[in-house]
Chains A and B, each alone.
Chain A
Amino acid sequence: MGTLDYIWLGILAVFQGPEMFAVFGLPISVTLVMVFCGFLLGIAVGATPGLAGPVAMAIALPILISIFGYSPDALLPVMGFLIGIMKGATIGGAVPAILFNTPGTPDAYMTTLDGYPMAERGQAKKALRIAHLSSASGDTFSDLVLFVCAPFLAIFVEAYLDLPEKTALLILSLSFIAAVIGGSPAKGLISTGLGLLAVYVGTGEDFYPRMSMGTQQLARGFPITTAVLGVLIIGSAFKGLEELWQEKKSKGIIEPAAESGDQRLSFADIRRLSPYIARSALIGTAIGALPGIGSTLAATLGYTLGKNRYQKRKPAEDPDFGTGVPEGIAATEAANSSVSGANLIPVLSLGIPGNAAAVFLILAADSIGGFNPGPSVFKFTKDVVNPELVVAFGLFTAMFLANILNWTIGGVFMRSMGIMIRIPKQILLPVVLLMTLTAIYVQETRMEAIWFALGFGVLGYIMRGFAISPLPFVIAFILGGKLEDSARQAFSATGNDPFFLFTSPIAAVFMALSVGVILYAARKSKDEK
């Protein structure tokens, strides 16, 4: 069995799997149908403010398993559906970010910075076209890299990043996010500190759940959905409602956004955006291939580097990033979409997810059985077929299928969701709020989760009031647990060496960069003053 044989078996597993129905005598496999359905559902869910891919995956997974059962034949249809949702929700997620300033996921937060001002200027459709083009391009590039490089990169990453390096890499991610988001490193650090503090409540290794004040409610910690959806979506909904309230008080009416200007994407536009898309696709793919980092950092990094390039080259009279610049949308969407393909490398080879969507892929594999993400997946056995490797190439094929759907029907379906801008915001935002609270409840099934989410929503609102970006909070919350776990393991694995973060050259470089990036940002902020 050679590499090409494995690729071919993977493709066949998708196209010649159990038949769902036939078109003109041509059998259509159940996996194809599931990828298609997952993709459409993903766009619809991503485009609905207050919902996001992980919510749909969380709801769909138990239903899918109850339909397909626990046999290895269930792996490709179930994971194909989840991949469809993941891809669809990535491009769909730009819709609420651009139209309503409510990012469905942390990844789409940066899209709001330029997308929403464009929508406010009546250029919503053009912003959506840019988001689709960038997202589909980044996604394609990432899938190509996944297909070609996955086995080699998996071996490379595993060889060079041990526990101390992974811990240092997580610290570098947090420092970088704190330093670059929102223009103030101090406020970035505060946001990061609050996110870490929130994730450490009620957790730990001791019998007594730390910082729980002896209460049962805090002893289980804050569920991730309450913190992420609370700070990002509920906080943003509060802010949006307040702006409408102020507008009504000052003007007496609330003006709906009307379309204005050319909504098409010209060839000149595409040529102008291409360098931003290409650069962000590279960044996203590189970050996706690293374990445990994920799409939010990619979006942030893509946006920041895109901003630097744009600010250096633009004529003085052109608008700045953050005021409705197409390059801002392109840089963000290409970066966050190009993570999903490459992210399967650490997911499949190490079992470490880089984003919330990947968590559900691992969960599906664990629940169904017959496929254990880890080093055994990429073993090219010659005498006997490695079924896990066939499934891996089957998943890559499903990624490509979703990608083709992305280019063909994705844009049209995504833009059709733009009809939601006709709904007045003062009606939509309260509905989004209730929908978000409902989505949190159906996952957590306890009222405390709703109270926590509202608390985080108020925190998100106050942070916005002080111009503190909520994104470092969210990333710190997501990475905080992983950071503590890997630090504990690294400390133990290095024989209780208190300097474990500085003994390996790679970890030491990551740590130096962590301090350097904060000092550089603080100095820059002081100089700008």
Chain B
Amino acid sequence: MYSRNTSNFYLGLFCLAFALFLIFIWIPLDTDTGLVDKIRRRLVIGDALAPTIAAVFLAIGGLVLIIFERRVPSQPYMTGQNLRFISVTSFLLIISLILMRYTGPLAVWIANLSGGEPLEYRLLRDTPPWKYIGYFIGGTVMITGLIAQVESVLSWRTLRIAVLAAILLIVIYDLPFDDLLLPPNGDV
């Protein structure tokens, strides 16, 4: 992160604008009670008060940045490289989580194609090996992808490490406990 002498000003402006959006648009439109409310002739604190105070914190922070800290020497900000890194990382994580969520049910669907008694993933979500498929594939892809991104190279060694790590986490979180569910088995 590098220093640019206007970043505090723009960050302050953004916070101030966001706070005003919260106070005048989001909170009033998306909260049923006001700052204070009357219930059975009694005055009570409404649901809008607390988030409004949160927005006031943001607004004051933004104003202090604009007025008092606008010219401080060190003003880190997000560079294009930072944005590129977090975008690629987010993409990798989204792909891994989609695989984690859907490969188990997909495996059951494929198994059903071969005939026999039809299976349902929901009923198998606590039965090995079905319950591990999504977590294992999604977890392996996540670890492999992130290591490969940092090392700028995809190798068999990376894949082996990811497979071992995914198995280790299954051993830690699932094998000793009957009542814990690995992702995504609580959702299906």
Give residues 7-54 of B contacting A (CB, 8 Å). Answer: 7-8, 11-12, 15, 19, 22, 26-27, 30-33, 42-48, 50-51, 53-54
In the complex, chain A residues whose CB is within 8 Å of the CB of B22: 197
Q: Which of A186, A429, A491 contacts B146 (CB 8 A)?
A: A429
Give residues 151-192 of A contacting B (CB, 8 Å). Answer: 178, 184-192
In the complex, chain B residues whose CB is within 8 Å of the CB of A178: 57, 61
17 contacts between A and B (CB under 8 A): A178-B61, A184-B69, A191-B61, A193-B57, A196-B57, A197-B55, A204-B33, A208-B31, A211-B26, A211-B27, A246-B81, A451-B97, A466-B7, A476-B54, A487-B50, A491-B45, A522-B64
> A313: CB under 8 A from chain B?
no
Interface residues of B, CB < 8 Å — how many? Answer: 78
Given contacts A186-B68, A431-B165, A434-B142, contact A465 B53 (CB under 8 A): no
Closest to B42 in A: A496
Verify A187–B90 contact, CB threshold 8 A: no
Q: Of residues B97, B143, B183, which shows the largest number of chain A Cβ atoms within 10 Å of its Cβ?
A: B183
Majority DSSP secondary structure for residues of A touching B = helix
Interface string of A265-308 (1 = CB under 8 A from B): 00000000000000000000000000000000000000000000
Taking the closest CB of chain A, its distance from the CB of B4, in whole angstroms, is 11
In the complex, chain B residues whose CB is within 8 Å of the CB of A444: 186
Pick from B103-111, B112-120, B147-155 the stretch touching chain A.
Answer: B147-155
Q: Which of B54, B64, B73 contacts A185 (CB 8 A)?
A: B64
Verify B51–A211 contact, CB threshold 8 A: yes
Verify B64–A189 contact, CB threshold 8 A: yes
Q: Which of B60, B86, B147 contacts A427 (CB 8 A)?
A: B147
CA distance A484 to B47 in the complex (A): 9
Taking the closest CB of chain A, its distance from the CB of B152, in whole angstroms, is 6
Q: Of residues A185, A200, A430, A454, which shows the largest number of chain B Cβ atoms within 10 Å of its Cβ?
A: A430
Q: Which of B139, B179, B181 contacts A434 (CB 8 A)?
A: B139
> A109: CB under 8 A from chain B?
no
Given contacts A242-B82, A466-B78, contact A434 B165 (CB under 8 A): yes
Majority DSSP secondary structure for residues of B touching A = helix
Q: Which of B31, B60, B90, B146 contacts A433 (CB 8 A)?
A: B146
> B169: CB under 8 A from chain A?
yes
Verify A196–B183 contact, CB threshold 8 A: no
Taking the closest CB of chain A, its distance from the CB of B92, in whole angstroms, is 10
> A263: CB under 8 A from chain B?
no
Taking the closest CB of chain A, its distance from the CB of B135, in whole angstroms, is 8
> A488: CB under 8 A from chain B?
yes
Taking the closest CB of chain A, its distance from the CB of B94, in whole angstroms, is 8
Taking the closest CB of chain A, its distance from the CB of B138, in whole angstroms, is 9
Verify A210–B143 contact, CB threshold 8 A: no
Verify B11–A188 contact, CB threshold 8 A: no
> A461: CB under 8 A from chain B?
yes
> A446: CB under 8 A from chain B?
yes
Verify B150–A245 contact, CB threshold 8 A: yes
CA distance A111 to B30 in the complex (A): 40
Pick from A70-78, A123-131, A314-322, A435-443 the stretch touching chain B.
Answer: A435-443
Verify A465–B183 contact, CB threshold 8 A: no
In the complex, chain B residues whose CB is within 8 Å of the CB of A491: 44-45
Taking the closest CB of chain A, its distance from the CB of B57, in whole angstroms, is 3
Verify B183–A210 contact, CB threshold 8 A: no
Closest to A484 in B: B50
> A458: CB under 8 A from chain B?
yes
Closest to B176 in A: A63
Verify A465–B32 contact, CB threshold 8 A: no
> A80: CB under 8 A from chain B?
no
CA distance A435 to B77 in the complex (A): 30
Closest to B3 in A: A467
In the complex, chain A residues whose CB is within 8 Å of the CB of B72: 184, 525, 529
Closest to A426 in B: B150
Given contacts A193-B61, A427-B147, A466-B7, contact A241 B89 (CB under 8 A): yes
In the complex, chain A residues whose CB is within 8 Å of the CB of B149: 241, 245
Q: Which of B48, B60, B169 contacts A438 (CB 8 A)?
A: B169
In the complex, chain B residues whose CB is within 8 Å of the CB of A429: 146
Given contacts A442-B182, A496-B43, contact A238 B61 (CB under 8 A): no
